[in-house]
Homo-oligomer: A and B are copies of this chain.
Amino acid sequence: MTVMKIAGAQLGAIQRADSRESVVKRMIALLDEAASKGADMVVYPELALTTFFPRWYMEDQAEVDFWFETEMPNAATQPLFDRARQLNIAITFGYAEKTPDGHYYNTSIVTDRQANIVGKYRKIHLPGHSEYDTERAFQHLEKRYFEPGDMGFNVWRNEGVIMGMAICNDRRWPETFRCLGLQGVELVTIGYNTPSVNAQMSAEGLEKRLFHSELSLQAGAYQNSTYVAGIAKAGVEDGHPLMGGSIIVDPDGFILARAVTEEDELIIAECDFAKCDFGKKTIFDFERHRRIEHYGRITSQTGVIVEV
């Protein structure tokens, strides 16, 4: 069976003024560290190339477009792809994607060890709002700048392992993991940018927010018997703190590795994908135990309907 060393490359703060080239240098430094530790794959965060720009309210589309990539790889990211190929390490990272026909997505890609892009995912569960919200402590305009992903939840067999991707807020939705689990997923990689403060409840506190992130990643792993890597962009970006807490979780829901800083930091875990089998063949043998005839509301109904 396949064993891989999966590395999570948490990124510290990226300021609004920081260039993509400067970020790619940091990503390559983490890649080199991962190589020195024998990693087979490196997982970077959501929107890895820039600051978390959805916190900024912009009306000028040219200003918005500055944050988007129109091709991948491109001039700024080619050195990352080149180094990954040279080191024979698969990578996955997130970026803002503008398509040739003018659509905007919060996207992640995954490569094989030869730096060929073998999978793409576009974020489905966009949090936040689309118009300026005076009631929030700060803005979270993902619904303004992105369209919901149009590609669904997919898996790819990459380097012998069935992999799927999700992005940030997707991890809080069990539907994300289940759609991947129903395709036999063995590794789910999830990058995130999560503010350390709840814009709608500042008293919530960092500890609770880290707990919610871990709870969601651990439950998704256990209930689908899959490895999960949840990797943060962290640190204070132009005065706005993002939480860290990057973790790699095993198919039992246990945390194998955890970032301890809010800076650029590599975590690594050896993942023996044979360990996905026990859960998939026993308590979570979907074929024997799921009862789809009673799940209708999950796909027929978007919001809450109170009938009592």
Cβ contacts under 8 Å, A183 to chain B = 297, 304-308
The copy count of this chain in the complex is 2
Is A296 on the interface with B (CB-CB < 8 A)? yes
Q: Which of A256-296 contact B (CB under 8 A)?
A: 278, 280, 282-292, 294-296
Cβ contacts under 8 Å, A174 to chain B = 174-175, 177-178, 219, 223
Q: How far is the CA of A305 from the CA of B185 in the complex (A)?
A: 10
Cβ contacts under 8 Å, A302 to chain B = 286-287, 290, 292
| Stretch in A28-36, A47-55, A155-163 with 4+ CB within 8 Å of B | A155-163
Which residue on B lies nearest to A218, using beta carbons?
Answer: B215
* Interface residue tally on A, bucketed by range: 35 or more
Contact with A292, one of B149, B177, B212, B300 (Cβ below 8 angstroms) = B300
Which residue on B lies nearest to A180, using beta carbons?
Answer: B297
- B215 adjacent to A298 (CB under 8 Å): no
- B292 adjacent to A304 (CB under 8 Å): no
- A295 adjacent to B306 (CB under 8 Å): no
Is A4 on the interface with B (CB-CB < 8 A)? no
- A287 adjacent to B308 (CB under 8 Å): no
- B283 adjacent to A303 (CB under 8 Å): no
- B211 adjacent to A283 (CB under 8 Å): no
Is A235 on the interface with B (CB-CB < 8 A)? no
- B179 adjacent to A298 (CB under 8 Å): yes
Report A253 CB to chain B, min CB distance, Å: 5
Cβ contacts under 8 Å, A223 to chain B = 172-174, 216, 219
Is A208 on the interface with B (CB-CB < 8 A)? yes
Is A201 on the interface with B (CB-CB < 8 A)? yes
Report A165 CB to chain B, min CB distance, Å: 13
Report A79 CB to chain B, min CB distance, Å: 30
Which residue on B lies nearest to A285, using beta carbons?
Answer: B303
Is A184 on the interface with B (CB-CB < 8 A)? yes
Contact with B along A212-254 (1 / 0, CB 8 A): 1001101100110000000000000000000000000000111
Q: How far is the CA of A145 from the CA of B179 in the complex (A)?
A: 31
Instruction: Identify the 4 closest CB pairs spanning chains A and B, nearest first.
Output: A287-B303, A174-B174, A219-B219, A184-B306
Please name 20 further chain A to chain B contacts, defined as beta carbons within 8 Å, in addition to the given A127-B283, A183-B306, A215-B218, sorted by A numbering: A124-B291, A126-B289, A127-B289, A157-B308, A172-B283, A173-B223, A174-B174, A174-B178, A174-B219, A175-B294, A178-B298, A179-B294, A208-B254, A286-B304, A288-B303, A290-B303, A292-B300, A295-B298, A295-B299, A299-B300
